[in-house]
Amino acid sequence: MSNLTNEAVLSRIQGKFGEAVRNAEEPYGLLTIEIEAAKAHDLIQWLKTDEVLKVSFLTLIGGAHFPNDKGREICVNYHLHSFVNNVRLRVRAFLPIENPSIQSITDIYVGADWQERESYDFFGIIFEGHPNLTRILNEDDMDYFPMRKEYHLEDATREDKDDRFFGR
């Protein structure tokens, strides 16, 4: 166990990537930074090889959709973990909905393969350079991305149900 604090991690990342790192915060103690989408791949690669931080474990990749945030509707979250220093951090990048593409990190972590496919399947995020970017959990011939906010769980056109009074 080392005594790397979130501030120390952040200042080291900022020292390397400078202006590309934005909106650093610590919700519930987890260091969260936003990175320009074009630099996300480089940052994750650098984090893995950096001799101080040694962030060499990919915990999770996930997407999220914020339809009201113009120009940055799609969010990609990378949860990373340094076993040596026991530091977790979350890196996120925002993408426009017209062209939600970001460089794949399958060349850094082989385990990113399925997780990127899952994010593609649900949110339509294009991971450039991914060896096999196809749907994974849903049907192959689906033509939409079901986790986006415009798709409601129930059919919005149904008229036989009135659930105004049930808090929905």
Q: Which residues bind other proteins (CB under 8 A)?
A: 27-28, 30, 32, 56-60, 62, 64-65, 77, 79, 83, 86, 88, 90, 109-111, 113-115, 118, 122, 136-138, 146-147, 153-154, 166-168
Q: In terms of Cα–Cα distance, which of 28, 104, 2, 10 is closest to 61?
A: 104
Smallest distance from the beta carbon of 6 to other proteins, in angstroms?
Answer: 14
Smallest distance from the beta carbon of 55 to other proteins, in angstroms?
Answer: 12
Cβ proximity to other proteins: between 96 and 111 the closer is: 111
Cβ proximity to other proteins: between 38 and 110 the closer is: 110
Cβ proximity to other proteins: between 19 and 141 the closer is: 141
Smallest distance from the beta carbon of 130 to other proteins, in angstroms?
Answer: 13
